Amino acid sequence: MENINIREAVTLTKLCAQIILENNGETYRAEETVMFIGRSLGYDTEVISFPIGFIITIADEEDTINTIIKRIKSRKVDLGAIHEVNDLSRKIVNRSIDIQEAIAKLRELHNKREKTSPLLYTAASLSPAAFSLLYGGGLFDAFVSAICGFLVQYVYSNFDVDDNYNFAMSLISGAMIAIIAIVFVNVFNVGNTNIIITAAITPLLPGLVMTTAIRDAMRGDLLSGLARLAEAILVAIALAFGVGAILTIFYGI
């Protein structure tokens, strides 16, 4: 791979960090990727990242310094994108890929619009259904839970709600699930509302965010850990508030 100028190095590292953080990757992963790439290209590299953005500074032997600050405006969960960035970063460090080709692939990956596959809808339906059976529900409970999961996934996939997921969409999802459960149980006079609601919201709970928060805190990155912990708590509160509001309206509890 040919020698590259400092601006290309900044572009390359920026795209890597941006894709990792936008797809809910760990902050330490973004930092390590930037450091490995920058130093492998012969530049003095420093980086600090947060769940909502990052700062990268790259300097050459003549102390020519380039710094970039990037805010992460939206996030989603796409482990495939993180895997592709990791794979490209290894190729860059090993100098087995042309720099322009690497930048082009990263830009293509960043601009790629995720298409919702039938498999995603299937998983979104089967997961709540399985939880309902695990919680002691019957086939009717599993069926209604599957409907809840399908409709929630439909909203997520068709209304471009990535930016508002943390609170607003959790609130709406909790309310949707409670309404569907109450309507089906009262219309057909069978099933358990509590089991249906509990099973349907279980896949929406922020387990990944909570795990990442604990991992960041244990690594000494307290700022990122606390930020992700606050996010997880807000999502859980929003889900509970959405469900609770509907139950209060229908049952006065």
pLDDT digit string, tens, across residues 74-84? 888 888 899 99
Q: Is the pLDDT of residue 2 over 80?
A: no
pLDDT digit string, tens, across residues 221-239? 888 889 889 988 999 999 9
Determine the pLDDT at residue 251.
84
pLDDT digit string, tens, across residues 150-199? 999 988 887 755 544 568 889 999 999 999 999 999 999 999 999 999 99
pTM: 0.82
Determine the pLDDT at residue 227.
87
Determine the pLDDT at residue 1.
43
Q: Looking at per-residue confidence, does 147 or 80 come out higher? A: 147
Determine the pLDDT at residue 162.
53
Q: Is the pLDDT of residue 102 over 70?
A: yes
pLDDT band at residue 212 under the 50/70/90 scheme? confident
Determine the pLDDT at residue 164.
46
pLDDT band at residue 6 under the 50/70/90 scheme? confident
The torsion defined by the Cα of 104, 110, 111 and 117, in degrees rounded to 10, comes to 120
Taking CA atoms, 63 is separated from 52, 57, 98, 199, in Å, by: 29, 11, 25, 57
Distance of CA 117 to the CA centre of its chain: 18
Distance of CA 73 to the CA centre of its chain: 12
**Average confidence (pLDDT) over 118-140:** 94
Taking CA atoms, 122 is separated from 25, 64, 114, 172, 187, in Å, by: 25, 53, 17, 21, 25
E strand or H helix that includes residue 108:
helix 99-111
Determine the pLDDT at residue 243.
96
- The strand pairing partners of 44, in sequence order, are 59
pLDDT digit string, tens, across residues 18-72? 999 999 888 989 999 999 999 999 899 999 999 889 999 999 888 888 999 999 9
Q: Is the pLDDT of residue 253 over 70?
A: no
